[in-house]
Amino acid sequence: MTRKIDIFDTTLRDGEQSPGCSMNSQEKSVVARELVRMGVDVIEAGFPVSSPSDFRAVSEIGSIVGDGAIVAAFSRAIEADIDCAAEALKTAARPRIVTGIGVSPTHMSDKLHMSEDEVVECASRAVAHAKALVDDVEFYAEDAGRADPQFLLRVVQAAVDAGATVIDIPDTTGYCLPDEYGALIKLVADNVRGIEDVKIAVHAHNDLGLATALALAGVRNGATQIECTINGLGERAGNTALEEVVMAIRMHGDELDAYTDIVTPELTRASRLVSRITGMSVQANKAIVGANAFAHSSGIHQDGVLKSRSTYEIIDPAEVGAAGSDIILSARSGHAALRHRLQELGYSFADEDFEGVYERFLEIADQKKEVYDEDLESIVQEMQREVAAVYTLNALQIQCGDPLVPTAVATITDEDGNRTVVSATGTGPVDAAYTAIDKVVGIESDLQEFAVKAITRGIDAIGEVTVRITASDGRVYNGRGSDNDIIVSSAKAYINAINRMIQASRARS
Ligand code: MN
């Protein structure tokens, strides 16, 4: 294994583009810290020209990451985009500008209305412009998977000649078959002058469920950078999943002549973190990080695994951080024990913030005796959610049963500190609570999805509710809330989604 494969994480750019997954800059910073802990080589932090909040996020991540990773900013092959990316990257110790243009017939004629010559000229100018601003410039040939291979070579040659340090050959639409895509990477590796000094990157989408296979085919044929996202988040069916390619390379390093520097025991935590922050659940049978990824239910399999794990398990759960921990805190655990455990989980707090975490911890410990790591993560993330809240639920009182009329009394504070007490009736307790919240917020939205799940073990587990709402403009927002009481979780989740909706519309204006 001699080839180091760079892991380029685009959860904060391509991943964030998927419906309902937008994150505010504070949430992006939390994800960026986890990406650094995990050892990714490049963090694509956003698309600065797209909105003031994206610009801010890129620049904040630049200062948080330091020299822990390269921080990349996305742009189109437009000078204003590139200038804006460079400006946002001023805080980064190792900045990279990512720029590029569509190279497939449909992108050139239907989207760009440009001839082949114009596209080559534009690519070359964009790379040269970026190169004048930073040393590290990545050029992407958008929709390369459906491009004429000979024309692709021409564009890539122009980008390399103009000084690109990385060439990304994306299958933007997830259209290719793996061997076809591998051949395209090989064509570039074998036919572009000067390519030996340039990194070739693969970027695939999962429209045919092939995103991981495409990335690996690329690696086999000369690519040394994989662009991917946590949980495979991303446009449409998503991007290549980071955890999948990393573990595939780990299992087959010799055949692929490849390794990565990813700290694999972080994979499960990173997955949970991104899932909680975006409100996008991970399917139970998802490879590597799904809840069932290491569960055995058939009798034959259980028997085999009990005799020897390797009979039906290719990965030791501990290798990806899924083994769970035996450390259980209780109400008797003091400040030091809690702080220590949180640090081990990767969270550190200033003293004034820690007090709030400790108080919430005591409440949970009083209610459920044993507090697991998952509970702690839920407490921390709940608190991180609250900081950016427009509306906060202070209290919720519910009356329901048979034959009562379900009634909710909610106390809600807005960001200016105005406290409102409202009551409402509904068809059930959740409906009553949501109607009460609607009365305060006064914004139209449609509830699309509502799901309850127990985070930890036992009947006293914390219940987590995920909701999906659609705003009047058709945009989708996810929200999450957790509490011992699932009606309270439901109300928190709904308010969380509404807060996201309001923040996103402010960020756009
Ligand atoms: Mn993409």
Query: pLDDT per residue over 231-246, tens digit each?
Result: 999 989 999 999 999 9
93: pLDDT strictly greater than 90: yes
Give which of 450, 508, 380, 357 is closest to 24, Cα–Cα. Answer: 508
Tell whether 419 is covered by a domain.
Answer: yes
Tell whether 283 is covered by a domain.
Answer: no
114 and 147 inside one domain: yes
The pLDDT of residue 196 is 96
192: pLDDT strictly greater than 90: yes
Say if CB 481 and CB 491 are below 8 A apart.
yes
Tell whether 395 is covered by a domain.
Answer: yes
User: What stretch of H or E contains 31?
Assistant: helix 25-38
User: What stretch of H or E contains 374?
Assistant: helix 373-387
Find the mean pLDDT for residues 337-356: 83
The pLDDT of residue 387 is 54
Give which of 467, 482, 472 is closest to 442, Cα–Cα. Answer: 472
270 and 304 inside one domain: no
Task: Tell me how many domains the chain contains.
Answer: 4
What is the per-residue pLDDT across 387-441, written as a single tens digit (0 to 9) for each?
Answer: 568 999 999 999 988 889 999 999 999 999 999 999 999 999 999 999 999 999 9
379 and 481 inside one domain: no
Tell whether 16 is covered by a domain.
Answer: yes
172 CA distance to ligand 1 middle (Å): 5
Q: How confident is the model at residue 474 (pLDDT cuts 50, 70, 90)?
A: confident
Give which of 95, 170, 167 is closest to 138, Cα–Cα. Answer: 167
219: pLDDT strictly greater than 90: yes
In the sheet that 463-471 helps form, which strands lie side by side, from edge to edge?
A: 445-454, 463-471, 476-483
43 and 141 inside one domain: yes
Tell whether 288 is covered by a domain.
Answer: no
Amino acid making up residue 228: C
Out of 43-52, 62-71, 360-369, 407-416, least confident range: 360-369
The pLDDT of residue 452 is 87
453 CA distance to ligand 1 middle (Å): 31
421 and 504 inside one domain: yes
232 CA distance to ligand 1 middle (Å): 11
94 CA distance to ligand 1 middle (Å): 22
Find the mean pLDDT for residues 192-221: 98
17 CA distance to ligand 1 middle (Å): 9
342 CA distance to ligand 1 middle (Å): 34
The pLDDT of residue 3 is 96
374 and 412 inside one domain: no
235 CA distance to ligand 1 middle (Å): 7
276: pLDDT strictly greater than 60: yes
In this structure, the strands spanning 95-102 and 136-142 are: parallel
Tell whether 285 is covered by a domain.
Answer: no
pTM for this model (two decimals) = 0.84
404 and 365 inside one domain: no
Find the mean pLDDT for residues 261-277: 92
501 and 411 inside one domain: yes
Give which of 449, 455, 480 is closest to 276, Cα–Cα. Answer: 480
Tell whether 95 is covered by a domain.
Answer: yes
466 CA distance to ligand 1 middle (Å): 26
Instruction: State which residues form the domain around 355.
Output: 335-385
Find the mean pLDDT for residues 89-103: 98
379 and 404 inside one domain: no
The pLDDT of residue 364 is 86
The pLDDT of residue 40 is 98
480: pLDDT strictly greater than 90: no
The pLDDT of residue 451 is 86
267 and 240 inside one domain: yes
- Could you give the maximum distance between any two Cα atoms of the chain, in Å? 79
% of the chain exceeding 70 in pLDDT? 97
Q: What are phi and psi of 328, to 5 degrees?
A: -120, 125
Find the mean pLDDT for residues 467-488: 88
Say if CB 72 and CB 138 are below 8 A apart.
yes
The pLDDT of residue 187 is 98
The span from the CA of 108 to the CA of 101, in Å, is 9
Tell whether 284 is covered by a domain.
Answer: no
Say if CB 450 and CB 456 are below 8 A apart.
no
Find the mean pLDDT for residues 12-27: 86
Find the mean pLDDT for residues 290-314: 79
**Structure-token match 């655990």, residue found:** 333
The pLDDT of residue 460 is 73
Residues in the chain: 509
- 499: domain CATH number is 3.30.160.270
172 and 318 inside one domain: no
Report the interhelical angle of 373-387 vs 25-38 (nearest 10°). 140
183: pLDDT strictly greater than 80: yes
Find the mean pLDDT for residues 333-347: 83
Give which of 26, 22, 131 is closest to 85, Cα–Cα. Answer: 131
Average pLDDT, the chain: 91
370 and 429 inside one domain: no
315 CA distance to ligand 1 middle (Å): 29
